[in-house]
């Protein structure tokens, strides 16, 4: 097929963040912008692992389908001879990871700004995954950024737009392009991990009721296929199940603020036994029981402690990993199991080497992400199925399981406070100031809350020995509590300062306390020591999770 070379102006702002390149949709729609970034990916990979086979799909947000047509043409022009395209452009992030691994592809491009809102005036994003199925390493994303700044041309095959609605394969002179059903491979993977018969019995015989909120985003078709069709949950158990281009105006972030309908259903007199939600691209999860929210840190710890109940992990897990700001609840489980626990910077890509080298089986993050070595992404529905399998095996409620866990391991009271839309300069200066004053903090505060250590987290990858620095300032207190400061890498407007508070307690009497009340003194002390209000101009966070 003829290839046309188009001229483009180079862009200076295509630096991928924690999870790919995220910008306003209008930025991606500007002439040459998406094309430039995609061409940069192909240029960089042509010198590493050439992309000769790939998958493309996205979370269905506005501009998804148009972007897919562009990517198919650029891929084909750059010598990619096998292109798998998700039907209707709908492909969750974990399902994309599975497709790359199952069909031994060289990579994948996922169009998503994850949990950020979608629409013409909202956010869009591009994520690039490599042949292990996981997000490209920092070295690769850095090289893509550098290339994008110099790029003056992109290539496109002169092929007509593809009918994304019809499954099937067709051949051009240069490539085989296949439109595939994005759900079936993923469902098969889940069936191979979990005990579907046992979970189906839970729905059939125990009058067990669940509500899954797909938030009008990508997991709708997957959740309906798994929970309602395969496992026999009553129709309607999955709500907001049709992926919409603007997610119906909702913010597809599965947390207590944005999944309000689900949360109020779970905390009502006739609440469901189990509730869950996932985000825009299906990699995050939120777990709820009747009148109880399970924090992501607790969820990871409980999953690790109960791994033996799941067929795929019954023979044991090799190790666990969590991002640094994530609660240390899982560390205690790892200690009891006698397995390693790795602490990594924020970002799923840092788990890649640990998983590829079989150092860990399970990983998780405070940002509602949990996953395992079955793919190289966090996986929302996998986490929900893990919980269903635990519930079906133990025949106990979510609260009973959580309380039982705290009694055995203690409870890590945990909360994240977000200060959104800060002026970028103010936020950077605040962080720099903390970094420059690490030595000054020790000895500040008093009693239980005297600072005994402070550092700026850095990480040496145990496999490739690469060093990642400046990953968050940590203050450790005499009672074992800690406060962690870092700037978000996923926003598209200004800067978001995240402060993570954690305090471990072993006293059973305290277990039912509200984390905000128990952490109040730690929060106040931290704000005083760091002069948070004065330096940021904010007297309270915008979002508390």
Q: What is the smallest separation between the CB atom of 489 and ligand G16, expressed in angstroms?
A: 4
Q: Does 296 contact ligand G16 by CB under 6 A?
A: no
Q: What is the smallest separation between the CB atom of 41 and ligand G16, expressed in angstroms?
A: 17
Residue 491 has, within 13 A of its CA and on its CB side, a CA count of 16
Question: How many whole angstroms from its chain centre is CA 7?
Answer: 35
Distances (CA, A) of 488 to 214, 297, 304, 370: 24, 18, 27, 19
Q: Does 500 contact ligand G16 by CB under 6 A?
A: no
CA distance 308 to 322: 20
Q: What is the smallest separation between the CB atom of 490 and ligand G16, expressed in angstroms?
A: 4
Q: What is the smallest separation between the CB atom of 416 and ligand G16, expressed in angstroms?
A: 9
Q: Does 490 contact ligand G16 by CB under 6 A?
A: yes
Q: Does 114 contact ligand G16 by CB under 6 A?
A: yes
Q: Does 376 contact ligand G16 by CB under 6 A?
A: no
Q: Does 297 contact ligand G16 by CB under 6 A?
A: no
Q: Which is it for strands 176-180 and 369-372: parallel, antiparallel or unpaired?
A: unpaired
Site string for ligand G16, 440-479 (x = CB under 6 A): ----------------------------------------
Among 18, 393, 397, 521, binds ligand G16 (CB under 6 A): 18
**# binding residues, ligand G16 (CB under 6 A):** 17
Q: Does 283 contact ligand G16 by CB under 6 A?
A: yes
**Phi, psi torsion values for 468, nearest 5 degrees:** -125, 125
CA distance 2 to 66: 21
DSSP secondary structure letter of residue 135: B
With respect to ligand G16, which residue has the nearer C-beta, 9 or 139? 139
**Does 114 participate in catalysis according to the annotation?**
yes
Residue 172's nearest CA partner among 106, 57, 77 is 77
Q: How many CB atoms lie within 10 A of CB 409?
A: 21
Instruction: Note whether 545 and 257 are within 8 A (CB).
Output: yes
Q: Does 327 contact ligand G16 by CB under 6 A?
A: no
With respect to ligand G16, which residue has the nearer C-beta, 319 or 491? 491
Q: Which candidate in 114, 157, 241, 295 is catalytic?
A: 114
Q: How many CB atoms lie within 10 A of CB 460?
A: 11
Stretch that binds ligand G16, among 156-164, 291-299, 344-352, 527-535 (CB under 6 A): 344-352
**Phi, psi torsion values for 4, nearest 5 degrees:** -110, 140
Residue 183 structure tokens: 């759900």
Among 101, 115, 411, 482, binds ligand G16 (CB under 6 A): 115
Q: What is the smallest separation between the CB atom of 326 and ligand G16, expressed in angstroms?
A: 9
Q: Partners of 336 in the beta sheet?
A: none
Distances (CA, A) of 442 to 21, 104, 137, 449, 450: 38, 51, 35, 11, 8
Stretch that binds ligand G16, among 73-81, 201-209, 346-354, 476-484 (CB under 6 A): 346-354
With respect to ligand G16, which residue has the nearer C-beta, 112 or 503? 112
- Helices and strands (H, E) in the chain, number of each type: 18, 26
Site string for ligand G16, 155-184 (x = CB under 6 A): ------------------------------
**Residue-by-residue DSSP string for 73-99:** HHHHHTT--EEEEEEEEE--HHHHHHH
Catalytic annotation, residues: 114
Binding site for ligand G16 (CB under 6 A): 18-19, 114-115, 283-284, 323, 346-348, 365, 367, 369, 488-490, 498
């Amino acid at each position: 097929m003829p290839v046309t070379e188009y001229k483009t102006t180079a862009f200076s702002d295509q630096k991928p963040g924690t999870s790919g390149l995220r910008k306003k949709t209008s930025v991606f729609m500007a002439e040459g912008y998406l094309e430039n970034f995609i061409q940069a990916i192909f240029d960089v990979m042509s010198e590493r692992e050439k992309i000769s086979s790939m998958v493309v799909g996205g979370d269905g947000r506005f501009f998804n389908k148009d972007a897919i047509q562009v990517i198919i043409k650029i891929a084909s022009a750059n010598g990619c001879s096998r292109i798998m395209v998700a039907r209707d452009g709908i492909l969750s992030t974990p399902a994309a990871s599975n497709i790359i691994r199952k069909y031994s592809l060289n990579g994948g491009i996922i169009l998503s700004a994850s949990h950020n809102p979608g629409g013409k005036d909202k956010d869009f994003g591009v994520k690039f995954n490599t042949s292990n199925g996981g997000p490209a390493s920092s070295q690769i994303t850095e090289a893509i950024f550098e290339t994008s700044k110099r790029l003056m041309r992109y290539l496109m095959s002169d092929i007509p737009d593809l009918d994304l609605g019809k499954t099937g394969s067709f051949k051009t002179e240069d490539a085989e392009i296949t439109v595939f059903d994005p759900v079936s491979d993923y469902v098969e993977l889940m069936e191979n991990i979990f005990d579907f018969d046992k979970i189906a019995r839970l729905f059939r015989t125990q009058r067990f009721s669940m509500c899954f909120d797909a938030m009008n985003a990508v997991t709708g078709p997957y959740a309906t296929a798994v929970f309602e069709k395969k496992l026999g949950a009553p129709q309607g158990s999955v709500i907001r199940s049709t992926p919409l281009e603007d997610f119906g105006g909702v913010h597809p972030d599965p947390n207590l603020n944005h999944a309000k309908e689900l949360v109020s259903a779970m905390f009502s007199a006739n609440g469901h036994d189990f509730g869950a939600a996932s985000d825009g691209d299906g990699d995050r999860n939120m777990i709820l029981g009747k009148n109880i929210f399970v924090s992501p840190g607790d969820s990871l710890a409980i999953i690790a402690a109960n791994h033996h109940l799941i067929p795929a992990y019954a023979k044991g897990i090799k190790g666990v990993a969590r991002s640094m700001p994530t609660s240390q609840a899982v560390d205690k489980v790892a200690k009891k199991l006698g397995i390693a626990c790795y602490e990594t910077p924020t970002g799923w890509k840092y788990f890649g080497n640990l998983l590829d080298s079989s150092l860990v089986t399970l990983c998780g993050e405070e940002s509602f992400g949990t996953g395992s070595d079955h793919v190289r992404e966090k996986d929302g529905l996998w986490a929900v199925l893990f919980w269903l399998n635990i519930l079906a095996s133990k025949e106990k409620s979510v609260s009973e399981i959580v309380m039982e866990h705290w009694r055995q391991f203690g409870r890590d009271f945990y909360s994240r406070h977000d200060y959104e839309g800060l002026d970028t300069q103010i936020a950077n200066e605040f962080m720099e100031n903390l970094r420059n004053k690490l030595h000054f903090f020790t000895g500040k505060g008093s009693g239980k809350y005297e600072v005994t250590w402070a550092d700026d987290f850095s990480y040496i990858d145990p496999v490739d020995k690469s060093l990642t620095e400046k990953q968050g300032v940590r203050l450790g207190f005499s009672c074992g509590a800690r406060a962690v400061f870092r700037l978000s890498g996923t926003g598209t407007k200004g800067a978001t300062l995240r402060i993570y508070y954690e305090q471990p307690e072993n006293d059973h009497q305290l277990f039912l306390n509200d984390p905000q009340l128990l952490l109040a003194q730690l929060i106040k002390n931290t704000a005083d020591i760091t002069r948070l209000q004065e330096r940021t101009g904010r007297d309270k966070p915008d979002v508390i999770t």
